[in-house]
Chains A and B, each alone.
Chain A
Amino acid sequence: MFFTRLLGTVLVAMLPLLVTAQQLTVSAAASLNNVFTELAPKFEVGKPGVTLRFNFGPSGVLLQQVAQGAPVDLIASADQATVTRGIEQKLLDADSKRDFARNTVVLVVPVQGAPDVKTLADLASPRVKRIAIGKAATVPAGRYAKEALDSARLWSVLEPKFVFADNVRQVLDYVARGEVDAGFIYRTDAALGAGKVKIVLTTQGHTPVSYPVVVVSESRNKALARDFIAFLATPPALDVLAKYGFGKP
């Protein structure tokens, strides 16, 4: 009797798994967290039975997960380099790739108790003790910042001060808490941290920040994945992207 009931309960608990017709898994750059979360219901409304599932992380790690066989349908990356690498490794469908947004990298400092920083060169001052930056190997924001610092010939000077973060939102958190004196993040992230961090300057001398979205070769929902890519170019999606400060592709 007890086991019959238990079995019944388990079966009922599993029902939602059977009813959900289609699930689309999107691996997206950490900087897209808020904007994609807001876009999800707008996409789902037009597709009854479809649920969007997000996996946010640094773009380099997202590709690494796909390489190891993660069941992902789409990758939205914060850089072209990661997607190009994925296409070369035959992990991503080259013909599905589309650029959907732009961004800029900025230097931010905590609003409270920040040392006086006006230029990149000011970061070399002894008053600046710690600078947060994304890990260049996996976090595009970190790589853009490195390019900018390399072209300003400051990278090796500043290297002892760097605290390497797992993703760009972690950099924002470090600066917002005041644990570091400065950090490199996207303008869109800085807007989310308004009141805690302030923008000092927009970095120059790096590859333009352009976000591509692309279908994963192993995806079983390719048609739906392409629908999501098309959706990102529709006016409602562009409005939300613009609201968070992303530029047009």
Chain B
Amino acid sequence: MPDSLRNFDGSPLILSLQVASVATLLALVVGIALGWLFARRRFPGSTVLEAACMLPLVLPPTVIGYGILVLAGRRSTLGSWLREHFDYTIIFSWHGAVVASAVVALPLVLKSASAAFAGVDRTLEAAACTLRQSPWSVFMRVTLPLAWRGILAGTLLAFARAMGEFGASLMVAGSIPHQTQTLSMAIYDAVQAGQDDAALLLVLVTSVISIAVLVASSRFLSLR
């Protein structure tokens, strides 16, 4: 154990936090927008679209990874356009891991945001409208403050899910040390290579962080 402690490489931990934070932020913005849309607007195909947005929750991560490869890989329309004009690709970069994690985390934000918005009293919004507030201002000053608790709960779950992302990220971003090797991939590599000490240490680190996030979230949510 002392040996693996001395050789402990913090980069997977930092990368995991970085990827999970950015992915959660992305999922939060998209999830709030879509959650509001599904809670407040009915349009042709809205139920099907909502179901499609929830798919990452039930599909195997390998399907998500494959989907991203097909849609954004070098041979895809989007991928080759990005490569030609900006010399950029999300494949084998940490941005790829962010996209994969955001996709799998999105349903958790979306569902809780949609439920939270549905629970907001419409008469309060109507009252705000009579006070000459613009729709955006009503949303920011009335709807969102009333729904934030539910959204936050979903966001913390999304962060936890993004921290644990493995399958889709491995397919899209690979496991490149110091570039795309997150905690879960470092654990996988260590186990495969028979470095049980290193794996155990990483497992402990991951567990401590996850428990901290969960404890923080329950404390935060019980605040009134």
Given contacts A60-B193, A162-B176, contact A130 B75 (CB under 8 A): no
Q: Tell me if A177 and B193 are in contact (CB < 8 A).
A: no
Contact A178 B192 (CB under 8 A): no
List the A residue with the shortest CB-CB distance to B93.
Answer: A130
Main secondary structure of the interface of B (DSSP, over half): loop
- B-side contacts of A163, CB under 8 Å: 92, 174, 176
Q: Is the CB of A137 within 8 A of B69?
A: no
User: Which interface class (under 10, 10 to 19, 20 to 34, 35 or more) fits B?
Assistant: 10 to 19
How far does the Cβ of B121 sit from chain A's closest Cβ, in whole Å?
A: 50
Given A137-B192, A177-B74, A177-B75, A164 contacting B69 (CB threshold 8 A): no
Q: List chain A residues, Cβ under 8 A from B75.
A: 177-178
Which residue of chain A has the shortest Cβ distance to B70 in the bound complex? Answer: A177
Partner of B193, one of A130, A138, A165, A178: A138
Q: Could you tell me the distance between the alpha carbons of A198 and B193 in the complex, rounded to whole angstroms?
A: 30
Task: Among A135, A138, A162, A179, point to the contact of B91 (Cβ < 8 A).
Answer: A179
**CB of A138, distance to nearest CB on chain B (Å):** 5
* Residue contact B74 to A179, C-beta cutoff 8 Å: yes
A137 to B193, CA, bound (A): 6
**Contacts A64-B194, A163-B176 given: A130-B92 contact, CB under 8 Å?**
yes
B16 contacts partner chain A, Cβ-Cβ < 8 Å: no
CB-CB under 8 A from A180, the residues of chain B are 92
Name the interface residues of A4-39: CB closer than 8 Å to any CB of B.
none
B189 within 8 A of A: yes
User: B175 near A: Cβ within 8 Å?
Assistant: yes
A157 within 8 A of B: no
Q: Known contacts A64-B192, A64-B194; is A178 also within 8 Å of B74 by CB?
A: yes
- Does chain A have a CB within 8 A of B73? yes
**Is B192 a contact partner of A61 (Cβ separation < 8 A)?**
yes
Bound CA–CA A58/B175 (angstroms) = 16
A177 touches B73 (CB 8 A): yes
Closest Cβ of chain B: how far from A146's Cβ, in Å? 14
Distance between A179 CB and nearest chain B CB, rounded to angstroms: 5
CA distance A179 to B192 in the complex (A): 24
Q: Are A138 and B174 in contact (CB under 8 A)?
A: no
Cβ–Cβ contact B73 & A179, under 8 A? yes
Q: A140–B74 Cα gap in the complex (Å)?
A: 28
A67 within 8 Å of B (CB atoms): yes
Cβ distance A57 to chain B, nearest Cβ, rounded Å: 9
With CB as the reference atom, state the residue of chain B lying closest to A160: B179
**With the chains together, A72 CA to B91 CA distance in Å?**
36
The winner among B69, B73, B75, B192 for most chain A CB atoms within 10 A is B192
Q: Are A60 and B74 in contact (CB under 8 A)?
A: no
Interface string of A179-210 (1 = CB under 8 A from B): 11000000000000000000000000000000
CB-CB contacts of A143-185 with B at 8 A, as 1s and 0s? 0000000000000000000111110000000000111100000
